[in-house]
Every structure is written in structure tokens, then in C-alpha cells.
Structure 1
Amino acid sequence: MSSTLRHATITPHRSAARGHANHGWLDTYHSFSFANWYNPNFTQFGSLRVLNEDRVKSNSGFPTHPHRDFEIFSYILSGELTHTDSTHTKKDNKNTKESELFCRVGRGDIQFTTAGTGVTHAEFNYGKDPVHFLQIWAVPWKRGLAPRYDWGRYSDDDKRKGFVSLLSPLKGGVDATAAQEKAAEPTIPGTIAIHADFVMSAGIIPPGSKFEWIVGAKVADATKRKVYVHIPMTKGGKAKIRLDGRDDDILVEGDGAFVEDVHAGDKLVVESVGDAEAEVVLLDTA
């Protein structure tokens, strides 16, 4: 398979280069500088600031703690995670009782918080099995936003057909009106609205198959783009992907890649070349 993005620069970010800490209850890998781990080469990529791959043991979790001026979201790979926060916003899903002011999310779900002027929240694993998830932070287009909580559920069946968009920019952009903020309508229907020029998608690619991602997802404000690709550690090392047909850019589980010098409308081809289906997360930003 030949390259279609000869103008693009693709730089692998190997799993071994990530920060790592095992606290017993939490086993965490940091793709970008976080907590006590700092690497000047990995601080931010467009709006993307944090990408942690976390495993939390049963009956453990993050106690109540504050955040502000970040867009914070978790993508659940396996297990179950319960979220509570100071917005006291209950999101009804099939795992949430009418009387509970929290949201319990599982495989394929996203829970999302605009921290804005300040929130406190907690995330806990009340299940019997470990929960494995990606914790991701994006820098919003302005500070001082009103806090907001949201969640979404996205099926594996859809992700096996192609990349599924999960987050997209809030309609109205940086100059969104109060009504648009309240409506929280995303640019791409069916996604969660984020306060950034940022699109998140996920796909589950069968071995020997390839998915195509249109850079900017046809909604980007900026023509010049960059995409961060991550392949979570879900298949015991059996999943591998090739980007843009380049043999030197094959990624294994835990790896990421910086895709730069691309523009809205470019096509990024992701091919599954391992022995197991590859779950792939794309973070497309200006």
C-alpha cells in the first residue's frame, strides 16, 4: 500500500517513552507530561494536553478533587467507572437510578466535563473487575466557561465499520451565545460538544482491514491540522497498525503517533496489520 500523505510528517511516540507509575490501586501511563512525570518533548499537541491510559482496581478510584479551565473526558475500554461531580447534574442512562446524582459508564462510553470556572469531581470503580480507560484533557478556546457534564455511548458494532466521531466543537465556536452554550449542540450530530477545535474518533479495525479518516472531519475551523493517533493496550500485544502505508510507522499497543503537516480534507489511512483487531483513537486538532 502506497503513501497518500507524502507531505505529512508522522513521528511515532513509543509506549516505552511514556511516563509510568504503579500506585497499586492505579496503574497509569502518561503520553504527555503529567503529575510527577515531565518530558519537555511531550507537553502538548495542539489542544491535546493529557492522554493517560489508566487501570484502576476494584473498589478503588480518584477521590474528590478540583479542576478548572480544562475539557476533561474518559473513554472506557473495559470495566465500569462511576463519576460524581459538583455540578449535581444527573445524566440518565440505563445504569443510573433516578435518585442518584452520578453517572456510571462502561465499555465504549465517554464521560465528559467542562471544568471551566471550577468543579470538584470523583471517579471510582465499584465493579468487581479493574476498569481500563483513557483519561484525556484538552485546552479550551477560552477560560472561565460555565462547568458542564455530559456522557455518550457508542457501540463497538459501529466502530467495526469505520471511525466513529465521539467529540466535536460546540456550535457557535469561541463566540458561542449563552443559548448555544446552554443547548450544548455539537458540530457533528450524535457527538459530545467540546469547547475546542478538536474532534475525537474511535474505530475497531479487523486484521487485514483499513479505515480512512478525513482530517478535520469536514467541520474544522483551521485548514492546517494535526492528528494524534493512539492504540490502547487491549489485546495482549497482538494488535498492530500501519499509518499511511508506511512500514516505518507501524504502531503496537501502547504506542501513539504525531501526524503533522496535514490539512483539512486530507485522508489518513489506518491499516490493522496484527493478529487481533486494533482499537484506535484519533484526536484531530488545530
Structure 2
Amino acid sequence: MSKPLTHAKILARRSAERGYAEHGGWLKTFHTFSFASYYDHNFTNFGSLRVLNEDRVAARNGFPTHPHRDAEIFSYILSGELTHRDSMVRKGAEGAQGKAFYRMKRGDVQFTTGGTGIAHSEQNESSRPVHFLQIWALPWRYGLKPNYHTRSFDEGAKRRGFVPILSPLKAGVGASAQEEEEAVPAIPETIPIHADFVMGAGIIEPTGRFEWTVGAGAVQKVKRRNVYVHLPMTEGGKAKIRLDGRDEAVLAEGDGAFITGVNAGDVLGVESVGEAEAEVIVLDSD
């Protein structure tokens, strides 16, 4: 078992403190950081983490085609289905994972590099609501070539420990056009992101404990990293976690925590202390 991170500062961001909006009866959304009509100068970004929205979209509804640029954007599906349609491929070419339109379900992550400009839609074309996290990171440079990836992550693996979901593009900031096309991530079997950023996810049974190694052995900045831990609202309020063994760092569903003063290689303990399993998201940035 890892030792407590006595040098780390942990500050909770309670669910009720987040921005909240409802749109036309089809969207219910919580904003951890300033987004759209919600603005709080205290919560604009955390390292390269820029947006963390927890969204619920009603059946047969969704976000119509809209543009993005110079942002790394990813969706993590918690329940239901979400169909991503992108301006980079022929409309109607929906297919398997990869560079085609893709209907996502639980366990899937869709990732978009906005770069010089891209347009996409995210629609719930199913007969039941979809619940997902939409997360944005600031890229390490502007003017990147637009691209996107979709990948599934095994549920069983998430119940054995934290699973890396995203890691930096292995070729780094100076990647060539060929290296961008090859899109090799620093951690195998993850999605490559243009940022010094790692995402992990795990599902911890009650009384269970997982550990997250800061930086996951894949980052350039090793000192004073910014780690954000989020507990989505998936179990009707029955899930809770404790960070680093601290009673003041117990998070309920919808809560998150800013962790500062940590360095790559530090090991953060995460315990499930609620009545239901806890699906925990770790966002580890420069």
C-alpha cells in the first residue's frame, strides 16, 4: 500500500457548486469549469484541463453540427448511446471503430483534435437517455491537423485497477506529418492526445482500493503536476471515494478534487467507501 502524500494539497469541488443548465428539456448538464453561459473566474482551467461537463441527453436529441478548433475534445460514455458524426468523412458512412461515424456505448471513448477546424454532431439516436462526460484539454500547440479516434475500453480491466485511456502522442510537440498520421500514443492501447496529459478510469467495488501513479510514466513535466479526480453520478448517490486516506477528501457522486503539489511517480490511493461501486475518472495534466 502506498504511503500518504503528505506534500499534496487536495481541494474538493462539490457537485452542488458546479455550474448547471437545462436546455429545452433535452439536455441536463453540470460544468466543473466555466463553459457557455456559466462563468466563474476561479474555475477556468486546471493545467491543460479546460472543460469537464457531465451531460445527460434525452432520447432522439443531441448537439447539432457545430465547429471546434484548437482543442482536444473527448467523450466518455457512462450509459446509453451517442452517435458521433464528423465533417471529415462522408455522411452516412457509419461503421466500426476508427475513422468512420461511430455509435458509441458504455465503455467507448471518442476523441477529436479540433486543430485548424472541424465540425461534428453528437446525437442520441436511441430510445433512452445517454449519460456521458465531455472533456476538453488545451493542446500543446495550435494549428494542428484535425483528426479523431474512437476506442473501447474493457469493463473487466477497469474493475482490476485504473486503466489508461489517453496518453500523450509519443512523437511529441515536434511530430512530423507521418508521425501525426501514425498516431502512436506514449502508452500502448490508449488514445493519443496533443498535450502532456493522461486520463485513467477505474471501477472500484465497496471497500476496494486502487492506486494511480501520477504521470503514468508517460509525461514530460514531472514536477508540480495537476491531477483532477472526478466521481460521476452513476449510482443514485450510493457511491463514495476517499482520496489519500483523508477524511476531508471524501467525494460523493458528482464531486471532484483538485490535487496539487504532486510529482510524476507519486502514488495516489483511492478507496471506495460507499454502498455501491465507484467509477472514478483521473485527469492528470501538466
Shift of 1:2: 9.0
For the pair 1:159 / 2:162, whether they are aligned, the reply is: no
Mapped contact 2:94–2:102 kept (Cα < 8 A):
yes
Return the letter of the residue paired with 1:270: V
Contact 1:84/1:121, CA 8 A, preserved across alignment: yes
Matches within 5 A, 1:68-87: 68-87=69-88
Residues 150 and 2 of structure 1: is their aligned pair in 2 closer, same or farther, counting only changes over 3 Å? Answer: closer
Q: Residue 7 of structure 2 contacts residue 262 of structure 2 at CA under 8 Å; is this kept in 1?
A: yes
CA drift of 1:93 comes to 2.3
- The DSSP-based 3-state class of the residue aligned with 1:220 is coil
Please tell me whether residue 93 in structure 1 is matched to residue 96 in structure 2. yes
CA distance in 1, matches of 2:226, 2:136: 16
> Hey, what's the Cα distance between the residues in 2 that align with 1:53 and 1:20?
10
Counterpart CA distance in 1 for 2:228 and 2:89 is 33
Asked whether the 8 Å contact 2:2–2:269 carries over to 1, the reply is no
* TM-score between the two structures when normalised by the length of structure 1: 0.96
Q: Distance between the aligned counterparts of 1:231 and 1:271, measured in 2?
A: 12
- Tell me, yes or no, if the aligned pair for 2:84 and 2:122 is still in contact at 8 Å: yes
Q: Which residue of 2 aligns with 1:42?
A: 43
Structure 1 SS opposite 2:215: helix
What residue is the counterpart of 1:145 in the other structure? 144
Mark the runs of 5 or more structure 2 residues left unpaired by the alignment. Answer: none
The aligned residue for residue 125 of structure 2 is: 126
Aligned length: 282
CA distance in structure 2 between the partners assigned to 1:230 and 1:163 by the alignment: 13
Partner of 1:251: 251
Q: Does 1:7 align with 2:10?
A: no
Amino acid at match of 2:260: E
Pairwise CA distance, 1:101: 4.8
1:91, 1:151 within 8 Å by CA — same for their partners in 2?
no
Q: Equivalent residue for 2:212?
A: 213
Cα offsets for 1:144-197 (capped at 9, x unmatched)? 000001001011111000000000000111111111101011000000000000
The 4+ residue runs of structure 1 with deviation greater than 4 A are 89-92
In structure 1, the partner of 2:266 is: 266
Match of 2:45, as an amino acid? Q
Q: Which amino acid aligns with 2:11?
A: T
Gaps of 5+ in 1: none
- Give 1:92 shift: 4.4
Q: For the Cα contact (< 8 Å) 1:2–1:246, is it kept in 2?
A: no
Structure 1 CA distance for aligned equivalents of residues 126 and 64 of structure 2: 16
- d(CA) in 2 for partners of 1:75, 1:241: 20
Write the deviation string for residues 62-110 of structure 1: whole angstroms up to 9, x where unpaired. Answer: 000000000000000000000011111768427x9xxx95111100100
Offset, 1:226: 1.5
- 1:59 is matched with which residue? 60
* Letter in structure 1 aligned against 2:89: H
Contact 1:72 1:114 in 2 (8 A): yes
Counterparts of 2:201 and 2:135, CA distance in 1: 14
What's the Cα RMSD here? 1.6
Alignment of 1:201-240 (within 5 A): 201-224=200-223, 225-240=225-240
Aligned CA distance change for structure 1 residues 180 and 2 (closer, same or farther; 3 Å): closer
Aligned to 2:156, what secondary structure does the other structure show?
A: helix
Between the aligned partners of 1:92 and 1:242, the Cα distance in structure 2 is: 41
Equivalent position amino acid for 1:26 in 2: L
**TM-score between the two structures when normalised by the length of structure 2:** 0.96
